[in-house]
Amino acid sequence: MKNIYLDNAATTPILPEVIDLITKTMTEFYGNPSSTHQIGRKSKSLVETARKNIAKQFNAASNEIIFTAGASEADNLILRNAVTNLGVSTIISSKIEHHAILHTIDSLIKEFSITVYWVDLDEKGGVNYKHLDELLKQSDEKKLVSLMYVNNEIGNLLDIKQVSDVCIANNALFHSDAVQGIGHFKIDTKETPIDFFVSSAHKFHGPKGVGFAYIKKGFGINPILHGGEQERGARAGTENIHSILGMEKALKIACANLEEESNYIQKIKSYFISELKNNFGGIEFNGYSESETKSSYIILNIRFPKEFPMLIFNLDIKGIAVSGGSACQSGANKGSHVLNEILSEDDALKTSLRISFSKFNTLDEIDYVINSLKGIIK
């Protein structure tokens, strides 16, 4: 049976060279970076070199990178510090953010007297930048805007430069969950003076359980995990050396080959869109996922004209891994909060699939998926 992986927005396969480096690091560099002996100092040096190299990819300073266990922790660290440490009393976000943002905001509402505004979205889930500006001008309260760079379900791209500019003009802070963007799009913190963003290594062919927070120089950050003084006091816990070095390696490879790989993956995505239109009637694309300019080249969210309750299961039987976008597809009672927000009630009940590509996919695989869909739907 074939094994076709089209769920790269969920996680990506680890590169062989990254696995080799992780294995070498676990074998040879096992010292605690906080230890003062030679073995510990070597581990500390490797961690700090990785920090510098990761920072360079974003034209940032090494002390602006804080290593975490992933983006969810990094989001929590930034949002909580904004409220408890940086004087933020108002958060502006959208209702189609990742749950790492939405659930953290819910928690902060319960714990603190903060105001939350939801920016308007267009019919495809695009941010209404005019409304964002209006929300920022409503009062003089310290505000934080938290909007994701690439929506993980429908692939919509945020104009982070425009949001950065409007936040600066209104003396607001800007945070972005950039998980689906890092390693796939270029971010230059000098050209786009964003205050905070987060990343997870497993979204760009690195290991799971490691990520980082970018925190612009000048913001004091208090830990949410208490214990030792690691990460300059911002995060307690012995550093995950082998995973940090694996993340550095994966990011270096991704950034070095970004243009070539993005062009290749876009061709795969465009071919899939064309084949879907040629072989199926009534196909729609959720969000801006069909667009080459308003969507990530990684993500395509398809909506069929009716419900096919066993579609993901039947694709899985044929060795095809994809994600769903409705209650019957995901196993969740409420379905996709993103699709429920932007679709009509009738359309939200129709079967949606999220297809997410990588450099390892081929046109032959797409042909196999199309033929499998034809057989299943027939």
Write out the DSSP string of 54-106. HHHTTT--GGGEEEESSHHHHHHHHHHHHHHTS---EEEE-TTS-HHHHHHHH
Angle, helices 258-279 vs 241-256, to 10°: value is 70
Tens of pLDDT, residues 14-26: 999 999 999 999 9
Q: For the chain, how far is it from start to end, CA to CA, in angstroms?
A: 21
Check residue 330 and give its pLDDT: 47
Give the tens place of pLDDT for each residue, 222-275.
999 999 999 999 999 999 999 999 999 999 999 999 999 999 999 999 999 999
Domain ranges of the chain: 4-12+258-377, 16-256
Residues 6+ apart with CB under 8 A from 45: none
Task: Supply the DSSP string of 291-312, one letter for each residue.
Answer: -SSSB-SSEEEEE-SS--TTHH
Cα separation, 171 vs 167, whole angstroms: 6
Provide the mean pLDDT of the chain: 95
Tell me if residue 327 falls in helix, strand or coil. helix
Q: Distance between CA atoms of 290 and 252, rounded to whole angstroms? A: 29
User: 128-180, pLDDT tens digit by residue?
Assistant: 999 999 999 999 999 999 999 999 999 999 999 999 999 999 999 999 999 99
CA atoms within 13 A on the CB side of 22: 19
For residues 377 and 308, is the Cβ–Cβ distance under 8 A? yes
Distance between CA atoms of residues 340 and 204, nearest Å: 28
With bands split at pLDDT 50, 70 and 90, how would you rate the model's confidence at 9? very high
Radius of gyration (C-alpha) of the chain in whole angstroms: 21
Contact 189, 216 (CB under 8 A): yes
Q: Identify which of 135, 142, 154 has the alpha carbon closest to the alpha carbon of residue 87.
A: 142
Q: In the block, which residue shows the tokens 């079967």?
A: 351
| In the predicted structure, residue 326 carries a pLDDT above the cut 70 | no
CA dist., res. 301 & res. 219, Å (int): 38
pLDDT at 378: 74
Look at residue 185 and tell me whether its pLDDT is greater than 70.
Answer: yes
Model confidence at 2, pLDDT cuts 50, 70, 90, reads confident
Q: How confident is the model at residue 323 (pLDDT cuts 50, 70, 90)?
A: very high
129, 166 in Cβ contact below 8 A? yes
Q: Which residues are catalytic?
A: 328
Six-digit token pair at 211?
A: 């990520």
Q: What is the largest CA-CA distance in the chain?
A: 67
CATH fold label, 4-12+258-377? Aspartate Aminotransferase, domain 1 (3.90.1150)
Question: Which tens digits make up the pLDDT trace of 32-74?
Answer: 999 999 999 999 999 999 999 999 999 999 999 999 999 999 9
What was the pLDDT predicted at 333?
Answer: 53
Where does the pLDDT of residue 325 fall: very low under 50, low under 70, confident under 90, or very high at 90 and above?
low
Assign domain 16-256 to a CATH class: alpha beta
Nearest to 218 by CA among 60, 58, 57: 60
Q: What is the distance between the alpha carbons of residues 288 and 346, in angstroms, rounded to a whole number?
A: 19
Instruction: State pLDDT tens for residues 84-127.
Output: 999 999 999 999 999 999 999 999 999 998 999 999 999 999 99
Give the HSE-up count for residue 161: Cα atoms under 13 Å, Cβ half-sphere: 6
Q: How far apart are CA 287 and CA 154, in angstroms?
A: 5
Q: What is the pLDDT of residue 287?
A: 98
Q: Which of 60, 72, 289 is nearest to 188 (CA)?
A: 60
Residue type, 237: G
**Phi and psi torsions of 186, nearest 5°:** -85, 135
Please report the pLDDT score of residue 1 as a whole number: 72
User: What H or E segment, with its residue span, contains residue 255?
Assistant: helix 241-256
